[in-house]
Amino acid sequence: MVQFIDNRPSAIAQRNLVQGINNDNSVSASQQGLKTMGGRHSQFVMSETGDVNGLVSKSNSSNSINVFQLVIDKDLALALVKEGYSSDRNFMSYKGDRSSNAAVAWKAHVGVKLKDRMAVINAVSPILKSEGISHKWEVTTNSEQPKFLTIYPPDVEARWSGILAEVEAVIGDVATVSENSCESVMESGRIQMRHGQITALSVATIRGAGIELTAKEASDGYMQAEDIQYYEIGSREKIKPGQAGELAFVGRAGACLFIMSKGPPVTAILIDDILTSDPRTTWNPNEVALPDGVKRTVEHDIEKEIVRLNFNFETSCLRINALKETELHSMSETDPALVESRNAKKGRETGRLNIMETKLLDIRSRASELLEQANDDENRVEFLNDKIEEIDGIVERIKGSKRTLDVTF
């Protein structure tokens, strides 16, 4: 029986763990959990039906152990093996020859419901393979899979926008499940991205960045095991400001964890040779610019709304011009019925213009909020400033049209 091994009970899913499918086509999943802050250690094995076959626990804490089930869809896994995919815990992975080797970078996800998996695989797999992009498919039987597809970064970051556009064009309306820790990108919002760890950080890499590490004994309350080594960080200036803690290297997972002074352990990563945490709860914890040409869906929405409202305004201008032509000959008339008719027409057009102006100012407010969050992302700053300028121009024209209505009628 070949096992899939993971350490998800600690919310840190690492790679390079033992995995596989054996000759009799049966699949089991074995998970090892490390709760260093709570001092818990659990291991359990599950069959393909999801039953817990055995449970071994070691604990110096009275807290209960959280056990949850991952059921592997062996038929899907085997079908993907035939298409060149390799088993990777509860995923099937493809290694592309034009992918980046970056340890920390952007990655993309597509989430689906169980019934839509094959439609997405059949549509997307040929694209990613032809582009030489590493990716993986989740092969559990969960009814909803927010990270059903994970797309790893291309060798050249500028390729992201073209690859995602190809994927977006073929996934249609079936990608309906969102991942809370990611941000929707592209026009449809059916692709999501997150910046963070791609490959596990090693002690050697940390030291190579000029960060001093000193081996130490486990602090009170931390898990003690032969394959867990704790380190004190000596180079405090090489830690992201506002963070404090120490490191633990977990041999079985090949993972460096940042043991924060408050809260559970989180993955440790290096950003520009600065040691920081990757909490996996936010889409861009280190405020890195999105790849060129990739925009958040909310920005696409702003762009679409501006185009729609500008079209409505141009249509309103045509109506106002037509109104001026048809009503010009009767402007001197004082007949109450004609006056009432003119005022009603003027009121309708003024009301439409007021609604457009209000909606545009609301969009401007949203764009301004996004601008405040853009930080040093030059592409986003330029895009949002352009949209705000475009909105201001349309609003001024709307005000001019309202003045024309007041003077003419």
The answer, as to whether pTM is greater than 0.75, is: no
Closest to 212 measured CA to CA, from 166, 181, 187, 246: 246
Closest to 133 measured CA to CA, from 171, 168, 93, 169: 93
Cβ–Cβ under 8 Å, residues 213 and 270? no
Query: Whole-angstrom Cα distance, residue 348 to residue 365?
Result: 26
Query: Whole-angstrom Cα distance, residue 164 to residue 170?
Result: 10
pLDDT at residue 311, rounded to an integer: 92
**3 state SS of 223:** coil
Count of Cβ atoms closer than 10 Å to residue 372 Cβ = 8
Cβ–Cβ under 8 Å, residues 402 and 350? yes
Residue 292's beta-bridge partner residues?
Answer: none
Torsion angle of the four alpha carbons 168, 174, 178, 183, in this order, in degrees rounded to the nearest 10: 10
- Tokens representing 2 are 């070949």
Instruction: Write out residues in the chain with pLDDT < 70, as ranges.
Output: 1-69, 261-263, 327-334
Strands 183-185 and 191-197: antiparallel
Closest to 264 measured CA to CA, from 14, 7, 33, 38: 38
Residue entry with tokens 């475009």: 390
**Residue type for 309, please?**
L
Q: For residue range 143-186, what is the model confidence (pLDDT) as tens digits? A: 889 999 999 999 999 999 999 999 999 998 887 788 888 989 99
Q: Is 350 exposed, middle or buried (0-12, 13-18, 19+ CB in 10 A)?
A: middle
Q: For residue range 251-288, what is the model confidence (pLDDT) as tens digits? A: 877 788 887 766 677 888 999 888 888 888 889 888 88
**Residue type for 317, please?**
C
pLDDT at residue 330, rounded to an integer: 58
Helix/strand/coil percentages in the chain, nearest 5: 40, 25, 35
CA of residue 209 relative to chain centroid, distance? 28
Residue 138's beta-bridge partner residues?
Answer: 91
pLDDT at residue 327, rounded to an integer: 64
Q: Is 331 exposed, middle or buried (0-12, 13-18, 19+ CB in 10 A)?
A: exposed
Closest to 149 measured CA to CA, from 188, 105, 179: 179
**Residue type for 234, please?**
G
pLDDT at residue 2, rounded to an integer: 30
Non-local CB neighbours of 262 within 8 Å, separated by 6+ positions: none
